Chains A and B, each alone.
Chain A
Amino acid sequence: MVAGSLAVTVALNGLTLAALYFIVASGFSLIFGLMRTVNMAHGSLYLIGAYAGYAVFEPLYDRDVWWAWYAGVGAGIAAAAVFGLAMQAALLGWMQGQELRQALVTIGVSIVAADQLLAVFGGNSRQFFPPDALFGATELPGAGRYPTFRLFQIAVAVAVGLGLWLLLNRTKLGLMVRAGVDDRPMLTALGINVPLVSLAVFALGAGLAGLGGVIGGSAQPFSQGVDVRFLLTSLVVVIVGGMGSIAGTAVGALLVGMAEQVGQALFPTYSVILTFVIMAAVLALRPQGILGRPA
């Protein structure tokens, strides 16, 4: 009985972790899908979202305003989106097509961003306190009491996935994005302002990283260094799931999140290896990722 409830808890932990990974990695995947830009600063965007959100959240929380957390979420998304927009507009847009150079530029940006965040916010770890409605624990059949916020995390991920699906499949912007993924020069020739679409997609992808930053920062404390963790996770998730595919990102996030939690439960200090065994196996059998299309 105890073992059974432990298994359910591990599975739930894996699921909630996968939800967070999906939120962050879907932004990475979206940007890669349209622009072939490997955004090595995606972890920095996560951290920028978390810190900017915290800067707004903290004074409001001290004044005991009920919407403090929601304002933090908004600020985190906005800050990351604006930073991403600026990056695409100032640095990446004019070197479209030079993939390696773009990756190097984003590495440079991530070095500077991490150092400046350290200068401004210091090395202490911080954590958001979610509003009362999401705080505390919920009684779940089979698992006992489980943190409500983690369940909320799953709901957010599902909402993000549905939202992205609707955006890509039911709107004009989504149509343009999908066309751009397939044949960018043709889309340009049809008179679509592709640089503008790129800016919108970059802002959206960056905003998702910012959202992930606040959500992740509410579930667990965050500090300098988590940018590396979430860059790595985004990389592994999209490599496993398939680059530029939202459904693939979901599959990759589920696999990686589950593997991490199950690994930690079974063999704690070797759990990282499990993630990389999965990655190596996928690469060996399907280099384009589980749901990726051949390049």
Chain B
Amino acid sequence: MSGGRPSPAALASVALLAALALLPLLIPPFWTANIFGRAFVYGIVAMSLTFLATYGGFVSLAQTMMGGVAGYVAAVLVPDSVPSLVGGVPYAAAIPVALLAATASGLLVGAVAVRTQGIYLLMITLALAVGFHLFAQANIAWFNGYEGIRNVVGPEVFGLPFRNTFVFYYAALGSAALLYALVLYVVRTPFGLVLQGIRDNPRRVSALGYDAALHRIAAFGLAGFIAGCGGLLVTFYNIGISPGSIGLGPTVNVLVMCVIGGLGHPIGAFVGALVFTLFDTFAADIYDRDRFNTLVGAVFLLIVLVSPDGVLGLAKRAVAPLRGRRRVGPAAGAAPNTGAPLAAEE
């Protein structure tokens, strides 16, 4: 937190980013776009949930819906989409409008669910998400019903089409890294600390004079923005959007990614998305071509039953014995963690 020497975690993040930036030189294009690129864009949507769950304690199932709002707004506005509903709005204008709409949808979901917690919040956000899906499927005028909107190719970058493997990969990686840094920054701001206070003890936060409801709604708005970025990239990746891509399946998949990776740190969303993408791609070789969902469901069940904090938790427990021995040594005066101000006041 304090300036001076960068922390080991920050150094590791920069090293990882550099490695990922060089990765396309080493792996075939299929892996670049369809494994890593795809894992990044779905990871962004998953991270919006991880952000809410880890720092606010809100397990929301509406993140795919918020991404879908961005995707649909862009698809309706941009030129060349089929069918053209509004059309003609350049990407430079359509993308900000789409992100604004996603943020607004996040605020709306947050406002509707503001008085509910835990399992009730899960139910209400799920109901909202599936409701939006059914609405998109039934509505022809704005969503083109069951078919959805095709040929949303994404903006040109330096004269190259967005679908170019490397353009897509670096756009996905750049967005993921920026949003990841944004989340890590926000949770250290006063806003982020109040959010974590709400997670730990909402009544005490209210008693301290903070407006818990407003902080919650704002957190959902930020999550909506993040999910919107992911949703836009997913829409460009799929070259279009249809109700099927925001239905219950994809909604639950986002939760599956988060849980497999581990709800505890934003990086878990990307770990989970990568594991999920690998399964999705190679399930045919592991089990049965058509029974991918059984495999994913079984893995998900196993993780929830065995290690509720996901792959991250497994890794932490594997490393813990080593780290424990080290901590007994000279490094006794460890720095207090960021959660201390709220936890220490007893």
A contact set with B: CB distance below 8 Å? 36, 38, 40, 91, 99-101, 103-105, 107-112, 114-116, 119, 228, 231-232, 235-236, 239, 243, 268-273, 275-276, 279-280, 283-284, 287
Contact B297–A111 (Cβ < 8 Å): yes
Q: Does B139 contact A (CB under 8 A)?
A: yes
Chain B proximity of A87: nearest CB distance (Å): 11
Partner among A36, A99, A115, A272 whose Cβ is within 8 Å of the Cβ of B294: A115
Contact A272–B135 (Cβ < 8 Å): yes
A236 to B297 CA separation, bound complex (whole angstroms): 25
Partner among A36, A101, A104, A276 whose Cβ is within 8 Å of the Cβ of B128: A276
A46 to B292 CA separation, bound complex (whole angstroms): 23
- Assuming the contacts A105-B305, A228-B247, asked whether A111 and B296 have C-beta atoms less than 8 A apart, the reply is yes
Query: Can you add 5 more A-B contacts, CB < 8 Å, to A111-B256, A112-B293, A112-B301?
Result: A38-B119, A38-B123, A108-B297, A232-B134, A239-B127
B293 nearest CB neighbor, chain A only: A115
Partner among A36, A112, A232, A283 whose Cβ is within 8 Å of the Cβ of B113: A283
Interface centre among A116, A276, A279 (most CB of B within 10 A): A276
Contact A279–B127 (Cβ < 8 Å): yes
A103 to B294 CA separation, bound complex (whole angstroms): 18
A111 neighbours in B (Cβ, 8 Å):
252, 256, 293-294, 296-297, 300
A280 neighbours in B (Cβ, 8 Å):
112
Contact B127–A276 (Cβ < 8 Å): yes
- Assuming the contacts A232-B131, A235-B126, A272-B135, asked whether A283 and B304 have C-beta atoms less than 8 A apart, the reply is no
A115 nearest CB neighbor, chain B only: B293
B116 nearest CB neighbor, chain A only: A287
Contact B124–A283 (Cβ < 8 Å): yes
Partner among A101, A272, A287 whose Cβ is within 8 Å of the Cβ of B131: A272
Chain A proximity of B298: nearest CB distance (Å): 6
Contact B124–A239 (Cβ < 8 Å): yes
Contact A272–B119 (Cβ < 8 Å): no
B window 206-257: CB within 8 A of A: 247-248, 252, 255-256
Chain A proximity of B229: nearest CB distance (Å): 25
Contact A115–B131 (Cβ < 8 Å): no
A283 to B125 CA separation, bound complex (whole angstroms): 12
B130 nearest CB neighbor, chain A only: A232
A83 to B314 CA separation, bound complex (whole angstroms): 31
A243 to B59 CA separation, bound complex (whole angstroms): 19
B293 neighbours in A (Cβ, 8 Å):
111-112, 114-115
Contact B118–A100 (Cβ < 8 Å): yes
9 A-B pairs with C-beta separation under 8 A: A101-B308, A111-B296, A111-B300, A115-B292, A269-B139, A270-B139, A272-B138, A283-B115, A284-B115
- Assuming the contacts A105-B301, A108-B297, A111-B293, asked whether A239 and B123 have C-beta atoms less than 8 A apart, the reply is yes
Q: Does B141 contact A (CB under 8 A)?
A: yes
Contact A228–B130 (Cβ < 8 Å): yes
Contact B131–A275 (Cβ < 8 Å): yes
Contact A272–B304 (Cβ < 8 Å): no
Contact B304–A269 (Cβ < 8 Å): no
A31 to B284 CA separation, bound complex (whole angstroms): 37
A28 to B298 CA separation, bound complex (whole angstroms): 23
A178 to B128 CA separation, bound complex (whole angstroms): 31
Q: Does B275 contact A (CB under 8 A)?
A: no
Q: Does B345 contact A (CB under 8 A)?
A: no
Interface centre among B126, B247, B290, B304 (most CB of A within 10 A): B304
B292 neighbours in A (Cβ, 8 Å):
115
Contact A269–B138 (Cβ < 8 Å): yes
A110 to B124 CA separation, bound complex (whole angstroms): 18
A103 neighbours in B (Cβ, 8 Å):
119, 122
A236 nearest CB neighbor, chain B only: B127
A116 to B300 CA separation, bound complex (whole angstroms): 16
A240 nearest CB neighbor, chain B only: B127
Chain A proximity of B167: nearest CB distance (Å): 34
A107 neighbours in B (Cβ, 8 Å):
252, 255-256, 300
Contact B297–A272 (Cβ < 8 Å): no
A243 to B118 CA separation, bound complex (whole angstroms): 14
Q: Which 9 A-B residue pairs are closest in the complex by CB-CB distance?
A: A111-B297, A108-B301, A112-B297, A115-B293, A287-B115, A115-B294, A99-B119, A108-B300, A232-B130
A109 to B247 CA separation, bound complex (whole angstroms): 18
B255 nearest CB neighbor, chain A only: A107
Partner among A100, A112, A119 whose Cβ is within 8 Å of the Cβ of B122: A100
- Assuming the contacts A269-B138, A269-B141, A279-B127, asked whether A115 and B291 have C-beta atoms less than 8 A apart, the reply is yes
Q: Does B194 contact A (CB under 8 A)?
A: no
Contact B301–A109 (Cβ < 8 Å): yes
A115 neighbours in B (Cβ, 8 Å):
291-294, 297
A243 neighbours in B (Cβ, 8 Å):
120
- Assuming the contacts A112-B297, A272-B134, asked whether A104 and B118 have C-beta atoms less than 8 A apart, the reply is no
Bitwise, B127-146 to A at CB < 8 A (1) or not (0) is 11011001100111100000
Contact A101–B304 (Cβ < 8 Å): yes
Chain B proximity of A234: nearest CB distance (Å): 10
B98 neighbours in A (Cβ, 8 Å):
none
Q: Does B259 contact A (CB under 8 A)?
A: yes
B window 105-123: CB within 8 A of A: 112-113, 115-116, 118-120, 122-123
B window 303-336: CB within 8 A of A: 304-305, 308
Bitwise, B171-195 to A at CB < 8 A (1) or not (0) is 0000000000000000000000000
Contact B127–A235 (Cβ < 8 Å): yes
A276 to B129 CA separation, bound complex (whole angstroms): 11
Contact A228–B127 (Cβ < 8 Å): no
Chain B proximity of A236: nearest CB distance (Å): 5
A271 to B137 CA separation, bound complex (whole angstroms): 12
A278 to B290 CA separation, bound complex (whole angstroms): 39
Chain B proximity of A109: nearest CB distance (Å): 7
